[in-house]
Chain A
Amino acid sequence: MSATRRGTLARHLRTWRAVLVQAVRRDAQFRAQAWTTGLVALARIVVGVIPVLVLGARTPEIGGWTARQLIAVAGCYQLVQSLLEVFVAPNLLRLSGYVRTGELDGVLIRPVDPQWFCTFRWVQPAALTGTLAGVALVVVGLGDSHPTPGGVAQAVLALLCGTVLLAAVWTNAAYLAFWFSSADFVHDLVLEAFTAGRYPVSLFPTAVRTLMIFVVPVGVASTYPVQALTRGPSAGQVVIMVGLGVVAVLVTRLHWRLAVRRYASASS
């Protein structure tokens, strides 16, 4: 049984590698379009960081954060955000089309996990420019701090959990397409809500802060990593983010099952 499962995992990884290669070849073929995608992703980050720079220029310290740390938080946000843009967004934006046109049938007859396939089939490698810019911002923002190894490990874990959490929230929102005939603007709503992650959670009123950790967990993706790097590890945060991550994945899994059941009974 476990041997089969390992085989299944390896097959899914090989499939993912194949779609990645396919996407790169596609970008190589449509070079002008790839450049545009890359430059737009970069422009989005530059524009996104401007309000943070203005804020930092006006206040040397705010809510216990220095101007440079603010840049690091914004950098973490952009890093996670652009990973979603590269690996998840092109899939979620297609989902309502799959449901409307019945193209989902073409996925369900494949010998792969359909939820996995609907989440990772499409890749947009050109948007990785945004990821690089995010890393650059983090480096610039943390230039004068000296993180501990434990802090670094926790920061990486936080970025990972943050990415999973945001992907899960967005995915669940995208699944609204199964229940409502038109919910395309839900993507705008989710993405705008994510932008709160550009700022540390401590800048917001308590209620909003709670939302930013537990409901739209952008705080986990941006505030937690920088906190770990500048203030050292915290066991409480590890428990929160790992717990949330597990819950989010389970909920998303369940939501998919219910959604596909509805899809199957609605089609004829």
Chain B
Amino acid sequence: MSTKGVPTGGSDGGGVIVAQQLIKDYRRSRQRPGLLGALRGLVSRDVEEHRALDRLDLRVEPGEFVGLLGRNGAGKTTTIKLCCGLLRPSAGEVRVLGHQPWRREFAFLRRIAVVLGNKAMLWWDVSPMDSYLVHRAMYDLDHDDFARRVAGLAELLDVTTVLDVPVRQLSLGQRMKCELLAALLHRPEVLFLDEPTIGLDVVSTAAVREFLAEVNRRDRTTIVLTSHDMDDVEQLCDRVLLVDDGRLGYDGTVADLVARTSPDKELRLTFRHPPQLPAVWPRGTRMVGREGTSVELRAERDAVPALLGAAAGWGELVDLDVGDADLDQVMRDVLAGR
């Protein structure tokens, strides 16, 4: 089978990831306590069905950078695992690059890459380069192309000088960069990232983000990312998918998500002297915090102009800051509202 052309399934229409009515049930057997319970468990077992995904529809186009968000246990890990073939759907269908992932064919696995945030793929005791050579054999890479690829990615990630240093001597940031390099050696068309910046310092986080954006832009690699760091999602993803209770709760841009779920604006007003605040706030406004001469308010979008007019009467205004609630806050609101 050719690994170059994208196989086109009838109704896929070229979508990189297409999930239809995807259902995943887990069976958990409850264990009764004690020896007697264990023995009884041999005869009959309390089996509990848990639906992790409930008729999920999903579609990701080539070259997209998608953020997958959701609470713990909402189904985002299950979604990722179904997409890279670690799990088999209970019902419904998922196709990635035209393949059914759970079949785990070489032609499929060869075209994807998965970086599981805190699980190292590189061997601690040897240099990254020694591990890359194993990848070269495993993915059947051409020697010259491999050498060029390593050099190019290493330069982009600024790890050229550490490729022959044992991994255990590298900093966390360097290690993560080397992991990313390993994941991209075989030019995957889809990259699944689970918490790529977890535990990294600010500088490394920025470098990793910049690199991922570059890979997405230059190689047109489709990237699906889950992260607890909302800044990752805000800065990188064109599109976010919010999985909640096993369903797709939201699908759209970050800006739209912010606008739709939280029309509120956050205002920070600073006065020269402690202000005379009104006993009754204007409609659609509430105070979030107060500190010395400044007040923090949250107001519905439409209420802002009126609020600003009124604020002039509370004291001499010296500074004004207006912004959208950040994604962290939005997520909290969305999830609490359910």
Contact = CB atoms under 8 A, between A and B. Distances in A.
A109 B133 contact: no
Nearest to B131: A22
B123 interface: yes
Nearest to A104: B86
Residue in B78, B112, B121, B134 with the greatest tally of chain A CB atoms within 10 Å: B134
The size class of the interface chain B forms with chain A is 20 to 34
Contacts of B4: none
A99 interface: no
B125 A15 contact: no
A18 B138 CA distance: 9
Interface stretch (B102-110, B237-245, B330-338): B102-110
Interface residues of A, number: 28
Given A106-B116, A111-B138, A268 B26 contact: yes
A15 B140 CA distance: 9
Interface stretch (A24-32, A167-175, A250-258): A24-32
B88 interface: yes
Given A11-B137, A18-B134, A30-B125, A111 B106 contact: yes
Interface of B: 26-27, 52, 73, 77-78, 81, 84-88, 104, 106, 109-110, 112, 114, 116, 119, 121, 123, 125-126, 130-131, 133-134, 136-140, 166
A110 interface: yes
27 contacts: A11-B138, A11-B140, A15-B134, A18-B133, A18-B137, A18-B138, A19-B134, A21-B130, A21-B133, A22-B126, A25-B126, A26-B123, A26-B125, A26-B126, A30-B125, A102-B119, A105-B114, A106-B116, A108-B86, A109-B109, A110-B109, A111-B139, A264-B86, A264-B88, A265-B27, A267-B86, A268-B73
Interface in A100-136: 101-103, 105-106, 108-112
Given A105-B119, A109-B85, 15 more contacts: A17-B137, A18-B133, A18-B136, A21-B130, A22-B133, A26-B130, A29-B166, A105-B86, A106-B116, A106-B119, A109-B112, A110-B138, A111-B139, A264-B88, A267-B87
B125 A108 contact: no
A8 interface: yes
A37 to B, nearest CB: 13
Given A11-B140, A29-B125, A22 B134 contact: yes
